[in-house]
Amino acid sequence: MFQGEYTNNMDDKGRVNIPAPFREVLQNAYTEPTMIVARDAQAACLRVYPLREWNRLLAKLGARPSSDRTVQAFKRAVVSSAQEYHPDKQGRVLIPQSLRNHAGLSKPTVFAGSAETFEMWDATAWEAQLTSSLAFLQNQDLDF
């Protein structure tokens, strides 16, 4: 399970280190370091899927009618952006400019655990999102 928040700096070429705890989850829980990085459909961030979770998502999409407008939109927005990665020996991946643009990624990049996946955020955008999420949760009856 991916949990925790980590900040690593992205270099000018778009390379960033995947946090060691997340690489360990990929290796230990999923038995391989392969991951898929794609646009998030509902936020200005990137969502990172272990290959097995990505395949589950694709299977769910495949089970729905291809004429479903939500499925079509999701495929156009998310599946079309998906890139497969294997971190190098230093744990780095090279994020293409198109994905960096979607998430507004700059040097400080936040990696936020989200159970079966994790997110990559621009540090300033993450702080705004976190503030918004915490404010929302203050008015909710959390029974889980």
Q: Which of 16-20, 56-60, 99-103, 137-141 is the least confident region?
A: 137-141
Domain of residue 92, CATH code: 3.40.1550.20
Helix, strand, coil: what percent of the chain each, to 5?
40, 25, 35
pTM here?
0.92
pLDDT tens, position by position, 102-126? 999 989 999 999 999 999 999 999 9
Q: Which two tokens stand for residue 5?
A: 């928040």
Question: How many CB atoms are closer than 10 A to CB 60?
Answer: 10
Report the domain count for the chain.
1
Structural domain that includes position 23 = 5-138
Residue 143 belongs to a domain: no
Tell me if 75 is assigned to some domain.
Answer: yes
Does residue 85 form part of some domain?
A: yes
- How many C-alpha atoms does 34 have within 13 Å on its Cβ side? 10
Distance CA 71, CA 61 (A): 7
If we measure between CA atoms, which residue out of 113, 102, 98, 83 comes closest to residue 40? 102
CB 50 within 8 A of CB 26: yes
For 110, how many CA atoms within 13 A lie in the half-sphere containing its CB? 20
User: What's the rounded Cα separation, in Å, for the pair 116 and 32?
Assistant: 14
Which helix (DSSP H) or strand (DSSP E) does residue 79 occupy?
none
Q: Which of 29, 12, 37, 13 is nearest to 87 (CA)?
A: 37
pLDDT, one tens digit per residue, over 64-108 is 998 999 999 999 999 999 999 999 999 999 999 999 999 999 899
- Could you count the other beta carbons within 10 Å of the beta carbon of residue 13? 9
Residue 101 is assigned to a structural domain of this protein:
yes
